[in-house]
Amino acid sequence: GNSVTQMEGPVTLSEEAFLTINCTYTATGYPSLFWYVQYPGEGLQLLLKATKADDKGSNKGFEATYRKETTSFHLEKGSVQVSDSAVYFCALMSGGSYIPTFGRGTSLIVHP
Amino acid sequence: NAGVTQTPKFQVLKTGQSMTLQCAQDMNHNSMYWYRQDPGMGLRLIYYSASEGTTDKGEVPNGYNVSRLNKREFSLRLESAAPSQTSVYFCASRPSTGSNTEAFFGQGTRLTVV
């Protein structure tokens, strides 16, 4: 079956530090890959996505590249802000399936 | 465009009481989902509806029932609430065609069972 593994948090950084949150996956076929963000007290919202190998998704300074050879989709940002403090979820969707597969989420805390 | 709307936002129940969580989407999506989110557990799928007229169990269906009332609405019912059902509940929807479409989430219902 499909699965997504994320690094455990919390990840604690100072403002302007470099961020990496690791995500690896197991899936049949050629899934699409997603990063969602959940701000405190809110629901999840899409941050970025990539639908085929070597695609790079980007949004709000965040980037992730679909690496089929390493089955990874690591999230990166060059300079985090306090407002980036949130929980980040990696997810995949396989063709022919109705159910998205989510990782457990990684909490990011950014200090001024 | 409201997206996915959940009601209520907060609820406190006594053990044994029943309630229905409401969810509606205005994006003409075929698939809808109910998740619960607990600390350290990520999102766990309770039930889903691949299309209007169908519902299926997810990972943690015990103690819950669902109704896909029409294409827009997907409700979750707790018949006899238990403290273990204290959680944050999220409804989501997505177009069912294609793997490249994301899910859209509601704001959540924070439920406490005492």
Report pLDDT digits (tens) over B81-107. 999 999 999 999 998 767 788 999 999
Burial string for B15-31 (b: 16+ CB within 10 Å, else e) reads eeeeeebbbbbeeebbb
Task: For chain A, say whether B101 makes contact (Cβ under 8 Å).
Answer: yes
Which 3-state string (H, E, C) describes chain A?
CCEEEECCCCEEEECCCCEEECEEEECCCCCEEEEEEECCCCCCEEEEEECCCCCEEEECCEEEECECCCCECCEEECCCCHHHCEEEEEEEECCCCCCCEECCCEEEEEEC
A contact residues 57-86, partner B, Cβ 8 Å cutoff: none
pLDDT tens-digit map of B15-35: 999 999 999 999 999 999 999
Question: Average pLDDT, whole number, for chain A?
Answer: 95
- Closest CB to A99 among B40, B45, B100: B45
Which tokens belong to B112? Answer: 């406490």
Q: Do A99 and B33 touch (CB under 8 A)?
A: yes
Q: Do B48 and A98 touch (CB under 8 A)?
A: yes
> What pLDDT, on a 0 to 100 scale, did the predictor assign at position A106?
96
For the segment A33-57, the average pLDDT, to the nearest whole number, is 96
What proportion of chain B, given as a percentage, has pLDDT over 70?
A: 98
Q: Which of A5, A52, A73, A93 to mutate to test the interface with B (most CBs of B within 10 A)?
A: A93
Q: Which of B45, B48, B55, B99 to mutate to test the interface with A (most CBs of A within 10 A)?
A: B99
Task: For chain B, say whether A20 makes contact (Cβ under 8 Å).
Answer: no
Q: Do A98 and B50 touch (CB under 8 A)?
A: yes
The DSSP 8-state label assigned to residue B70 in this structure reads S
Separation of alpha carbons A75 and A64, rounded Å: 5
